[in-house]
């Protein structure tokens, strides 16, 4: 999951950080310009604590609390409430714990400690780097909760994402070519050319002939140089237009995006050799079980994840006592409903 996806899914934590920053910037400017005079006594005549005095006017601790709560308190409470709901709703199975640990190792390997520390603190994890394992566990458990919600409400949410992102089941037969080079053609474009050995060319031609009379799976098992997938019909997984473009080499991705479901491509040359690509339309059940695409669904919506959390909160008997938090949640729920209504109208047009 990249940084944009994390920010979109956990946008409320960003609001908390920005709210705190804005408050203290305003406070610092106001204090400097008005030359505040700090009082010796800690309380006013009614026994209320004084934070500072500007031009003879006291600013009380009660005022500070009220301002802070109005600015960021409801958002902070919301983030803690949602994490508490997710933690209670999704149990720590061995699979979840293993996946979270692997995710933490991945983040730690590709990012320096200082970056992880500052990023996690901005997301509301006070321990920063020390909270990396907990953060990853929260992410994995949240994805599990969202997957359940969107699977149970497939027609309302997932169909819109399917229509927008065009997920496909992707298969390929690979004929490896050791010598693939880039040249500039007469039009000035950079293109790849394959300098095949006699053995490579023989296999390449054999695949083309076999596909004319044999089923794709049999040809794959017999000829593909992709050992990890050849016995599974060359199956790579379910990819949408965005994920295929971000995870596969460009020649492969471009071919998948334009290839009609149920067809096999012409040979596609990449730096690895020739690919014979097949794509199929996944069923609803296959999409529901695909963790990668269901994560894309939860990233697709800006507010609808709140509906998943609220539904589970009600199911577990969580009670939102604080009026401001309840108001904030209600506001997010209305935004989520509007988001779905807007998407449905676009689909129907």
**Phi, psi for 153 (deg, rounded to 5):** -125, 45
Domain topology for 168-281: Chitinase A; domain 3 (3.10.50)
Instruction: List, for residues 38-62, the tens digit of each pLDDT value.
Output: 444 456 666 677 665 666 676 566 6
Where is 299: in which H helix or E strand? helix 291-300
Indicate whether this model's pTM tops 0.75.
no
Contact 122, 111 (CB under 8 A): no
Alpha-carbon distance of 341 to 307, in angstroms, equals 14
pLDDT confidence bin for 343, thresholds 50/70/90: low
Domain ranges of the chain: 168-281, 292-348
Whether the CB-CB separation of 249 and 160 falls below 8 Å is answered with: no
The token pair at 213 is 């009379």
- Buried-exposed string 120-129: b where 16+ CB fall within 10 A, e elsewhere: bebbbbeebb
Query: Is 174 within 8 Å of 269 (Cβ atoms)?
Result: no
Per DSSP, the three-state class of 278 is strand
In this prediction, residue 179 carries a pLDDT of 96
The C-alpha torsion from 166 through 282 and 145 to 303, rounded to 10°, is: 20
Each residue's pLDDT tens digit, 2-14: 433 443 343 333 3
pLDDT in tens, 234-291: 999 999 988 999 899 999 999 999 999 999 999 999 999 999 999 999 999 999 999 8
Name, of 51-55, 66-70, 145-149, the range with top average pLDDT.
145-149
């Amino acid at each position: 999951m990249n940084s944009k996806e994390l920010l979109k899914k956990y946008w409320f934590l960003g609001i908390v950080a920005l709210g705190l920053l804005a408050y203290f910037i305003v406070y610092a400017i106001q204090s400097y310009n008005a030359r505040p005079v700090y009082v010796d006594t800690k309380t006013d005549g009614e026994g209320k604590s004084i934070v500072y005095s500007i031009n003879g006017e006291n600013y009380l601790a009660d005022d500070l609390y009220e301002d802070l709560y109005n600015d960021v308190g409801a958002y902070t409470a919301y983030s803690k409430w949602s994490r508490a709901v997710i933690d209670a709703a999704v149990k720590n199975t061995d699979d979840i714990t293993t996946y979270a640990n692997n995710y933490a190792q991945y983040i730690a390997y590709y990012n320096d400690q200082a970056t992880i520390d500052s990023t996690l603190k901005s997301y509301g994890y006070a321990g920063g780097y020390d909270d990396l394992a907990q953060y990853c566990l929260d992410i994995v458990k949240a994805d599990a909760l969202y997957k359940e919600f969107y699977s149970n409400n497939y027609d309302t949410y997932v169909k819109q994402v399917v229509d927008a992102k065009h997920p496909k089941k992707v298969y390929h037969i690979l004929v490896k070519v050791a010598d693939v080079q880039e040249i500039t053609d007469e039009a000035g474009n950079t293109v790849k050319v394959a300098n095949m050995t006699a053995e490579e060319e023989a296999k390449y031609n054999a695949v083309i002939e076999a596909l004319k009379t044999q089923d794709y799976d049999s040809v794959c098992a017999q000829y593909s140089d992709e050992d990890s997938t050849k016995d599974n019909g060359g199956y790579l997984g379910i990819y949408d237009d965005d994920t295929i473009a971000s995870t596969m080499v460009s020649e492969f991705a471009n071919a998948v995006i334009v290839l009609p479901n149920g067809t096999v491509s012409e040979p596609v040359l990449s730096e690895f050799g020739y690919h014979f690509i097949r794509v199929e339309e996944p069923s609803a059940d296959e999409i529901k079980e695909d963790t990668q695409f269901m994560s894309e669904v939860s990233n697709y919506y800006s507010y609808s994840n709140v509906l998943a959390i609220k539904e589970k909160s009600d199911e577990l008997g969580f009670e939102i006592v604080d009026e401001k938090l309840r108001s904030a949640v209600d506001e997010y729920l209305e935004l989520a409903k509007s988001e779905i209504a807007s998407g449905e109208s676009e689909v129907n047009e």
